[in-house]
Structure 1
Amino acid sequence: MDKLRLIELFVATCDEGSFAAAARRCHSDPSTVSKAVSRLESQLGCSLFQRSTRQLCITPAGQRYAATVRPLLQQLNACEHALQHLNDAPEGTLRITSAVCYAHLYLQPLLQAFCQRYPAIQLQLDVNDLHQDLIDNDIDVALRTGYIKDSRLVARRLSPMDFLICASPHYLAAHGTPQIAEDFSRHSWIGFRIKQSQQLQPIFLPDRHGHYQLHHLQRQHITDDGETMAAMCADGLGIAQLPHFLARQGLQTGALVSLFPYYRPPQPDNGVFAIYPKRDYLPARVRVFIDFLCAHLDTLGEGSNYTWAEQWPALNNASRASG
């Protein structure tokens, strides 16, 4: 039995006046309480109680010890209650890191409403496309496309990452609309360079049966910024395979059209994830933020296993199949 438990049982005995009453208060049994007090007396080298068959009387040494340890227990209990309240109340500094384009297109538009609902939360935003160590950098939650396997972290998928092959209407008017994968070799293609690996994002195109396959195509233009990629596509510089969150605004305004039904990579790490350190008690500020973000995504037609891209009409309505 640890020292703190011995002290708790000792103070309970002082308050209740008997081992039996102290046992009821501490959800124990009289013999355990009696042995605990005896062990404490042995450690201290003095008697804390005078025992008789009829009563239990505290000694001067016991009074002095109780006067010392009782405030310590009270302070400890008060501290624990305060920490529990801190963990349960949505308050304090919330440190978020997010991929750049996701922060601009999905995170920033909801921040005002989030802060209005939770005014006791202060935000610290780190917007970049690098995978940082959340624990070493004291980050509460990261919003990332994909995730790195780490037993110290929890990765909650906010949505799959669906890809749409897009072009601007005036590009198609000038260069024609490709019908099958082989047609793309005659078109200008905008590529995306992944900052973390410096590799080009692979291109998957549907065959005649709508099954997506990897294709190696020359990229006439390359960028490492997703929003620039979508803007170049809308400006008619070529065709691009865009993640759904980058294609969304252009498709809704008519600046872009989707040439084929969506493609969803089958890998388990495909998607947009909220990543946070694994802990027994998730702070309320983190929990309410993730819940708020998920509710916002639901209004956009996105959830952990679906996106609005599943229903978006395509110029070439081949039957869709994940590669």
Structure 2
Amino acid sequence: MDKLRSLEIFLATCDGGSFAAAAKLCDTDPSTVSKAIGRLETKLGLTLFQRSTRRLKITPAGQRYADTVRKTLLDLNACEDEIKSMNNEPKGTLRISSAVCYGHLYLRPLLKAFCEQYPEIRLEIEINDLHVDVIENETDIALRTGYVKDSRLIARRLSPMDFLTCVSPKYLNKHGIPKVANDFHQHAWIGFKIKETQQLQPIFLPNEQGIYEPFELTRTHITDDGETMAHMCVDGLGFAQLPHFLAKQGVESGELVSLYPCFRPPQVENGVFVIYPKREYLPEKVRVFIEFVTDYLESNGEGTNHTWAENWQPLLDVR
């Protein structure tokens, strides 16, 4: 029998005045009550009740113990009610970690509306491209591009990650439009260096059949910051392959054009994910945030298996 159950039986015995009354209160039998009290007395090394054939009388030590146990169990129940309320209602501190570009371009714009809808949720937001340990850092939710293989976590895909081959109209006006992949050797290209691996992001271009294949090109410029790459492209410094969330503002404003239809690199685990620790009961603050982000993306043409970029009209159609 666990300690908590023994203490509950002990208090029931105090309140009922007999093993039989305690058994009725605890939905058990007098023998079980007697054994539970005996185990407590043995563990404590003192007598909790003076026993006679007619009645039980609590000892002074037993009374002091009962007062402390009763207060402890009341505090425990109050604490349980509080944390259940925290788990079942959208309130409390929500700790979010987001990749830099996605955080700036997709997360930040929805925060005001989220806070207005859920005023009892306080946000703590970390913007970082490093894959932090969600559990060690006590993070409730992480927004990441690329899947995280950790059995302690759940990764739910918010959207695929579609890439567009972008360039500014002013660059094309000055340097012309490449017709085939080999023409890119005569053009400037902005490369992206992945911070964690220090490797350059591969370039994929369509072949004569319209199938995207890796293509070796010299990068004229290199950066490890996605937003800088997008701004350099807008400024006419060359072509760049941008993920849909980085390309969106530029192509919608007309500052960038997409040369080809969007493509998805051939990684099985490609996409944007919301990541959170495995739990038997998902806190309501986490659930409502995931639901809010999902609805926000759907209203902007994105979901688990699609992005707005699929329907964007490119300058050249290779399909």
TM over 0.5: yes
Tell me the equivalent position of 1:298: 298
Query: Which secondary structure does the structure 2 equivalent of 1:196 belong to?
Result: coil
Tell me the equivalent position of 1:7: 7
Query: Which secondary structure does the structure 2 equivalent of 1:79 belong to?
Result: helix
- Pairwise CA distance, 1:70: 1.7
Paired residue total: 317
- Pairwise CA distance, 1:162: 0.8
Q: Does the Cα contact within 8 Å between 1:22 and 1:33 map onto a contact in 2?
A: yes
Q: Does the Cα contact within 8 Å between 1:90 and 1:284 map onto a contact in 2?
A: yes
Tell me the equivalent position of 1:120: 120
Which structure 1 segments of 5+ residues have no match?
none
- Pairwise CA distance, 1:291: 2.2
Which structure 2 segments of 5+ residues have no match?
none
- Pairwise CA distance, 1:128: 2.6
Q: For 1:67-106, what aligned pairs fall within 5 Å after superposition? A: 67-106=67-106
Q: For 1:39-188, what aligned pairs fall within 5 Å after superposition? A: 39-44=39-44, 45-46=46-47, 48=49, 50=51, 57-60=56-59, 62-188=62-188
For 2:282 and 2:84, the matched residues in 1 are separated by 11
Q: Does the Cα contact within 8 Å between 2:14 and 2:58 map onto a contact in 1?
A: no
Q: Does the Cα contact within 8 Å between 1:145 and 1:270 map onto a contact in 2?
A: yes
Q: Does the Cα contact within 8 Å between 2:190 and 2:222 map onto a contact in 1?
A: yes
Tell me the equivalent position of 2:269: 269
For 1:271 and 1:154, the matched residues in 2 are separated by 14
- Pairwise CA distance, 1:201: 0.8
For 2:257 and 2:24, the matched residues in 1 are separated by 73
For 2:24 and 2:254, the matched residues in 1 are separated by 73
Tell me the equivalent position of 1:234: 234
For 2:213 and 2:317, the matched residues in 1 are separated by 17
For 1:241 and 1:60, the matched residues in 2 are separated by 80
Which stretch of the first structure deviates more once superposed, 160-169 or 90-99?
Answer: 90-99
- Return the letter of the residue paired with 1:267: Q
Q: Does the Cα contact within 8 Å between 1:20 and 1:29 map onto a contact in 2?
A: yes
Q: Does the Cα contact within 8 Å between 2:47 and 2:59 map onto a contact in 1?
A: no
Tell me the equivalent position of 1:196: 196
- Pairwise CA distance, 1:111: 1.3
Check 1:25–1:245 CA distance in 2 against 1; reply closer, same or farther (3 A cut). farther
Query: Which secondary structure does the structure 2 equivalent of 1:267 belong to?
Result: coil
Question: Normalised by the size of structure 2, how large is the TM-score?
Answer: 0.87
- Pairwise CA distance, 1:218: 0.9
Tell me the equivalent position of 2:211: 211
Check 1:99–1:43 CA distance in 2 against 1; reply closer, same or farther (3 A cut). closer
For 2:26 and 2:136, the matched residues in 1 are separated by 40
- Pairwise CA distance, 1:6: 0.7
Identity percentage over the alignment? Answer: 62
Which stretch of the first structure deviates more once superposed, 20-29 or 174-183?
Answer: 20-29
Tell me the equivalent position of 2:287: 287
Q: Give the RMSD, CA atoms, in angstroms.
A: 2.6
Check 1:26–1:272 CA distance in 2 against 1; reply closer, same or farther (3 A cut). farther
